[in-house]
Amino acid sequence: MSLVQLGLLLLFVMLGIISGLPIAFVFGAAGFGLLFITMAADPLFLVPSSISLMRSFVLLALPLYIIVGKLMEVGVLSDRLLGFIDVLLGRAKGMFGGVTVVFCAVFGAISGSAMSAIAAIGSIVIPRAPERGYPREYITSVIACSCLISMLIPPSIDMIVFGFSARLSVARCFLATAVPGILVTLLYLVINFFLTRKLTPVAQPPTVSRRGRELLRTTRGALTALMLPVIILGGIYGGVFTPTEAAGIAVVWIILDGLVLHRQFISRLWGGLIEAGNVIGSVAAIVFFVFMMSKVMCWLNVPDLLMSFTTSLVHSKVLFLLMANVLILLLGMIMDDVSICLLVAIILLPVANTYGVDPYHFAAIVGVNAGLANLTPPVAPLLYFAGAIGDVPVNKIFKTVVYYILFGHLPVLLLVTYIPEISLWLPNLWGGI
């Protein structure tokens, strides 16, 4: 396969996505088209071999964590968790935005899904914003940006996809994005402090004695939610169970919590499972067609072609990492984070290896950048979804989103890109997981 043919293929994919066609169908058409044009392999072998990849036990964690996110939406765990964090951090000036940021981080330690974080957190937090003296537009912007933390704090759906596609340890990929997720959280808290200095808080902080009673009450209510991240992450890194088993345990835990403590949970459960099934179906279609297209590309030696082409033009590791970040950001303007992780793991990671980039370091770069890309137009699914949940036009939240991107997310991306120890410290600490 020549570079011209590869360029035409990528152009076809981009035009298909920009035109509004479903991403899964664009990848499917590209894979089958490339197959029939080049006759690289028998289609009767290609489809079953791609299906066999979908039957992986590791990949089963993907739909399970999607279900976890949806169940968090329909149950009361999210509401109880917000109440605990709100009392814990206090109700001082500007703190409701900080509560939202921390809430997204904790939610990420349970579900690992940005879309679920927006839906679950936005529906709870945004209606409360005016009574706390917050413009609805501002708190919607905070949620749109802070949901990216859910993609970084383990467990992360993006890292499940990336780790499986790249044949890496999913548990170590989780750890690679953990410290970047904490850094983003801290920077967002600082940005929120400066952006909310002129806000007048409506709700005054409770007295010390009353706050102590409220903290005790909300801690009891949020105990099952707070235990869930401990069980998931403690079990995975304690060697008790795998990330997939942890996802299954999380699903059972949330269902039992809802059945015991929330009478309306049963009536909402079926609707939540149907919504999760819709998301799982679309993600599964994307994964299948990308696997199929990647197999055709491997048979046509596309990775080798890209390696030789890139190394002939870029001789510096520093420049390659810059080029990779720009490419991921551009991809994020036209496709979702799952598709980005699949394509980059299959096509770009082998090129990164030739420059001596640690695969888990590269996983962290992809994780941080894929989230950022999902806030950049023209596609920007997280931005539009947050606007829809908050019932706020996108143009009214974009200015604040830019502040968080420029002073929060971009600095962390640069630090993670050029200081590998930030992402590799935890994976190396746990060694052989």
- C-alpha 390/C-alpha 412 separation (Å) is 27
Q: For the chain, what is the domain count?
A: 1
Q: Are 185 and 202 in contact (CB under 8 A)?
A: no
Please state, in angstroms and rounded to a whole number, the distance separating the CA atoms of residues 129 and 133.
6
Q: Please write the tens of the pLDDT for every residue from 305-343.
A: 777 777 778 888 999 999 999 888 877 777 778 888 888
**Which pLDDT score is estimated for 320?**
93
Band (6; pLDDT cuts 50, 70, 90):
low
Determine the Cα–Cα distance for residues 419 and 424; give it in Å rounded to an integer. 9
The pLDDT score that the predictor gives to residue 318 is: 92
Task: Please tell me the distance from the alpha carbon of residue 1 to that of residue 431, in angstroms, as a whole number.
Answer: 40
- Which pLDDT score is estimated for 412? 96
Task: Write out pLDDT tens, residues 187-242.
Answer: 999 999 888 877 665 555 555 456 677 778 878 778 888 888 888 888 888 888 88
133: left (phi over 0), alpha (psi -120 to 50) or beta: left
Q: What is the pLDDT of residue 404?
A: 93
Predicted model pTM = 0.84
Q: What share of the chain is helix, strand, coil (3-state, %, to 5)?
A: 80, 0, 20
pLDDT at 39 (0 to 100): 64
Question: Which long-range contacts (C-beta less than 8 Å, at least 24 apart) are formed by 52-57?
Answer: 53/291, 54/284, 54/287, 54/288, 54/291, 56/164, 57/242, 57/244
What pLDDT does residue 178 have?
93
Range of the domain at 382: 3-430
The maximal CA–CA distance of the chain, rounded, in angstroms, is: 75
Angle, helices 359-373 vs 178-195, to 10°: value is: 30
Whole-number pLDDT of residue 4: 63
Least confident piece of the model among 49-53, 82-86, 94-98, 312-316: 49-53
180 vs 283, residue with greater confidence: 180
**Residues 232, 121: Cα–Cα separation, whole Å:** 20
Under a CB-based contact definition with an 8 Å cutoff, are residues 347 and 365 in contact?
no
Q: What is the pLDDT of residues 350-398, one digit of tens each?
A: 889 989 999 999 999 999 998 887 787 766 778 888 888 888 888 888 8
- Residues of the chain with pLDDT > 70, as a percent, come to 86
Phi/psi for 378 (5° steps) reads -85, -20
Residue 425 or 272, more confident: 425
Q: Cβ(63)–Cβ(280) under 8 Å? A: yes
DSSP 419: -
Looking at every residue in the chain, the average pLDDT score rounds to 82
Residue with tokens 């850094």: 183
Mean per-residue pLDDT, 250-271: 81
Task: Read off the pLDDT of each residue in 146-156 and give the average, rounded to a whole number.
Answer: 89
User: For position 367, what pLDDT does the model report?
Assistant: 92
Q: What per-residue confidence (pLDDT) applies to 142?
A: 92
Average pLDDT of the segment spanning 47-56? 76
CA distance readout (Å), 156 to 15, 96, 105, 122, 215: 29, 25, 11, 20, 29
Higher pLDDT, 298 or 61: 61
Q: How far is CA 277 from CA 26, 69, 112, 266, 271, in A?
A: 21, 12, 17, 17, 10
Cβ–Cβ < 8 Å for 350, 305? no
Whether residue 293 is predicted with pLDDT greater than 70 in this model: the reply is yes
| pLDDT at residue 17 in the model | 66
Predicted pLDDT at 421: 94
181 CA to centre of own chain: 11
